[in-house]
Structure 1
Amino acid sequence: MANTSSRTLRLLSLLQTHRYWSGVELADRLDVSVRTLRRDVDRLRELGYPVQADRGIGGGYQLAPGASLPPLVLDDDEAVALAVGLQSAANGSLTGIAEASVRALAKVVQVMPRALRRRVEAVGSVTVAPQWEAIPQTDPDVLVLLAQACRDDERIRFDYVARGGANSSRRVDPARLVPVGHRWYLVGYDLDRGDWRSFRLDRISDPAATGIRFGRREMPGGDAAAFVQAGLSRNTGTTTVRAELLAEAAVVRDLIGRWATVEPAGAGRCRVELSAESPEWAIFALGVSGAEVVSAEPAEFAGQIGDWARRLGALGV
């Protein structure tokens, strides 16, 4: 059994990962009795953590919102991810929190060990937020609510504006939040339509958690990003392109696999297929691969690649 201090920190870490834990499950995770668990919970409360408890058979614990934010327990990877995410938010990708993100980033980095600071700086130095096209911004409150619902398997409802402008109310069992290209999407099971759907977050309004838990369904294909990409390719407002590159498929997949389907095409070559909301974004994705483009289709897209190459060549790039 761990000592009291380390066990209490472990308990706090567990409470921060899920909305609700049964008492028996928590005690098993900590390798303590239920009685000892109650004492550890009381210690957290004395430190200012608002731990709520349900008594009786099947009772459990959850970390409730408090009047003030107590310290959080983060491992190294979580701390780096938090700092990088704050850097992204500081670039203005989320509405109304750029200044707050800068303040929070300063506080987080200030208390980081030197090794973790170097990791954050390394990631930031090779991460570029493309700003040459207007990007619909996402309300951070919407993002947080949907992320919690995905985590807790909680049914949600919201208003949604479809591509054609029609407004409707949706009841959805959310599964994943996915960044594809330069937008966020929610993938979930639409109860009224009886099928899986993807929803652009910038088109969602007035989301609300219903308090209803659901059993997880198997997502078609098992890959949320691929599901969104497939939906985009069926959308007449997107551009679907195919290209052959002089590079190994595994290398290209690591670089642009979140946007594209990449398959081997012989020694040192691969075929890429991707859907984007504009030809410029497709060209950007191929450029990120760093590989020479051997061929591209449709023909007009190949022509646009040539136009961009000539423009850059004229600058001596």
Structure 2
Amino acid sequence: MASTSHRALQLLSLLGSRRTWRLRDLAARLTVSERTVRRDLDTLRELGYPVLTVRGPDGGYRLGTGHALPPLLFDHDQALAIAIALQTAPSSVFGLQDDSARALATVQQAMPDTLRAAMESLRLTRLRNYWEFPAPPIDPAALTTVGTAVRLRRVLVTEVLRPDGTRAAPGEADFAAARRLEPHHLVVWAGRWYLVAYDLEDRNWRVLRVDRLHPHPTTRAFAPREPPGDDLAHFVMSSHDRGDTPAAWQCTGSARLNLPAHVVARWAPGGSVVEHLDAGHCRLTLGAWSWAGIAGILATFDTDLTDLHPPELLQACRHIARRYAGIRTAEVRQSSRD
């Protein structure tokens, strides 16, 4: 009986994912026969859970709406996932430090001892790595507004903010009028939240940093559109004009690369800026903890570099070149002795 109850809870947890499950897939996940799964489904129905049968070639079973799941149906791996998510969320969303801590404590209090111990064993301490490319925390109000518009398919009217979060006034050089957008997808990459939207002003797809938006919801609905390309993540990563600004570093420099902007944008670190120059060239601006660090990142693109700024960056590149040339000279001398 105990194993049957445990298996029924596992089954309910799978159905709670809101997807439609084929009978053989449920049996494989629970490592039981299909006949056993049918009995467990009947058990859940007897307990009052609306388990629906979906007909057709893509049919199976799913949980209906209007139900209440038993609290905290988590296995060990799910408990660890919750612990990680609640402890890392404050680093990307502004103002969630206390709320995340309280949520983690509430979840732990309602869990069995074994799962609580597993979660408490994963107390994370965030350490700053010199090669970490930080992103500013995002305003949860803006994130909620954009996320709701994506979910409900409602047009957004939004202004683009400056990197410091302020809005340019009419008449200022960087002033831009509010735009009407169809928000289709939210994508998180390199610690930054991006909105993939269809711009109703210029009739084109755009990638926008959510932390650079001042969004206003509307009640105007829009129909789904086919996303640009087959790979949404690739579209975001290869869009050079996605609103990125250089992250704050001890050193910031730039160089002209003999590569297209979309190629450099795909591989440039988070917190860097790619400027389109022409079909085969772009300018990359980025920061690091040293000038040699920037030079090292530029070298990974394996292309010719020109117009380096500031002079300290040019000097660092030349110093590294001399150092590498010295390695070759030392190898030749050692070979001649041998």
Give the TM-score of the pair, scaled to structure 1.
0.53
Equivalent runs, 1:167-206 vs 2, <5 Å: 167-174=178-185, 176-180=186-190, 183-188=192-197, 195-202=204-211, 203=213, 204-206=215-217
Please give the alpha-carbon distance, in whole angstroms, between the structure 1 residues aligned to 2:81 and 2:311.
Answer: 36
- Per-residue deviation, residues 88-124 of structure 1 (Å, max 9, x unmatched): 44569345x4432221122345654545544x33x42
Please give the alpha-carbon distance, in whole angstroms, between the structure 2 residues aligned to 1:12 and 1:290.
Answer: 55
Go from structure 1 to structure 2 and tell me whether the alpha carbon gap of 1:125 and 1:193 turns closer, same or farther (over 3 Å shift): same
Structure 2 residue aligned with 1:161, among 149, 159, 174? 159
Go from structure 1 to structure 2 and tell me whether the alpha carbon gap of 1:93 and 1:116 turns closer, same or farther (over 3 Å shift): same
Which residue is 1:265 aligned to? none
Please give the alpha-carbon distance, in whole angstroms, between the structure 2 residues aligned to 1:113 and 1:11.
Answer: 22
- Per-residue deviation, residues 38-78 of structure 1 (Å, max 9, x unmatched): 525426645xxxx57487666863464767983243552x4
Go from structure 1 to structure 2 and tell me whether the alpha carbon gap of 1:135 and 1:30 turns closer, same or farther (over 3 Å shift): closer
Equivalent runs, 1:71-82 vs 2, <5 Å: 71-73=72-74, 75-76=76-77, 78-82=78-82
Please give the alpha-carbon distance, in whole angstroms, between the structure 2 residues aligned to 1:127 and 1:209.
Answer: 43
Which residue is 1:253 aligned to? none
Please give the alpha-carbon distance, in whole angstroms, between the structure 2 residues aligned to 1:290 and 1:113.
Answer: 46
Go from structure 1 to structure 2 and tell me whether the alpha carbon gap of 1:145 and 1:198 turns closer, same or farther (over 3 Å shift): same
Go from structure 1 to structure 2 and tell me whether the alpha carbon gap of 1:62 and 1:87 turns closer, same or farther (over 3 Å shift): same
Please give the alpha-carbon distance, in whole angstroms, between the structure 1 residues aligned to 2:63 and 2:225.
Answer: 19
Structure 2 residue aligned with 1:27, among 23, 33, 41? 23
Letter in 2 for 1:300: P
Does 2:133 correspond to 1:137? no
The answer (yes or no) to whether the contact 1:12–1:73 under 8 Å persists in 2 is: no
Please give the alpha-carbon distance, in whole angstroms, between the structure 1 residues aligned to 2:233 and 2:128.
Answer: 28
Does 2:38 correspond to 1:39? no
The answer (yes or no) to whether the contact 2:86–2:104 under 8 Å persists in 1 is: yes
The answer (yes or no) to whether the contact 2:187–2:194 under 8 Å persists in 1 is: yes
Structure number with greater Rg is 2
Please give the alpha-carbon distance, in whole angstroms, between the structure 1 residues aligned to 2:75 and 2:107.
Answer: 11
C-alpha RMSD of the superposition: 5.1
- Per-residue deviation, residues 22-47 of structure 1 (Å, max 9, x unmatched): xxx4323213369647525426645x
Letter in 2 for 1:79: A
Go from structure 1 to structure 2 and tell me whether the alpha carbon gap of 1:85 and 1:212 turns closer, same or farther (over 3 Å shift): same
- Per-residue deviation, residues 257-305 of structure 1 (Å, max 9, x unmatched): 55569xxxxxxxxxxx965xxxxxx43xx23x997555787423847x9
Please give the alpha-carbon distance, in whole angstroms, between the structure 2 residues aligned to 1:138 and 1:14.
Answer: 29
- Per-residue deviation, residues 180-199 of structure 1 (Å, max 9, x unmatched): 45x42123556886543223
Please give the alpha-carbon distance, in whole angstroms, between the structure 2 residues aligned to 1:86 and 1:192.
Answer: 38
Go from structure 1 to structure 2 and tell me whether the alpha carbon gap of 1:64 and 1:141 turns closer, same or farther (over 3 Å shift): farther
Letter in 1 for 2:139: Q
The answer (yes or no) to whether the contact 1:15–1:63 under 8 Å persists in 2 is: no
Go from structure 1 to structure 2 and tell me whether the alpha carbon gap of 1:301 and 1:198 turns closer, same or farther (over 3 Å shift): farther
Which residue is 2:327 aligned to? none
Structure 2 gap segments, 5+ residues each:
28-33, 162-174, 256-267, 274-282, 299-306, 317-338
Please give the alpha-carbon distance, in whole angstroms, between the structure 2 residues aligned to 1:6 and 1:63.
Answer: 21
The answer (yes or no) to whether the contact 2:154–2:217 under 8 Å persists in 1 is: no
Give secondary structure in 2 for the equivalent of 1:173. strand
The answer (yes or no) to whether the contact 1:178–1:187 under 8 Å persists in 2 is: no
Please give the alpha-carbon distance, in whole angstroms, between the structure 2 residues aligned to 1:161 and 1:208.
Answer: 18
Worse-matched range after superposition: 97-106 or 157-166: 157-166
Go from structure 1 to structure 2 and tell me whether the alpha carbon gap of 1:91 and 1:172 turns closer, same or farther (over 3 Å shift): closer
Structure 1 gap segments, 5+ residues each:
244-255, 262-272, 276-281, 307-317
Give secondary structure in 1 for the equivalent of 2:180. strand
Go from structure 1 to structure 2 and tell me whether the alpha carbon gap of 1:52 and 1:218 turns closer, same or farther (over 3 Å shift): farther
Q: CA deviation at 1:178?
A: 1.3
Please give the alpha-carbon distance, in whole angstroms, between the structure 2 residues aligned to 1:54 and 1:207.
Answer: 37
Give secondary structure in 2 for the equivalent of 1:86. helix
The answer (yes or no) to whether the contact 1:138–1:201 under 8 Å persists in 2 is: no
Q: What count of residue pairs does the alignment treat as equivalent?
A: 247
Give the TM-score of the pair, scaled to structure 2.
0.50
Please give the alpha-carbon distance, in whole angstroms, between the structure 1 residues aligned to 2:140 and 2:199.
Answer: 21
Letter in 1 for 2:177: A
Please give the alpha-carbon distance, in whole angstroms, between the structure 1 residues aligned to 2:149 and 2:103.
Answer: 22
Which residue is 2:310 aligned to? 300
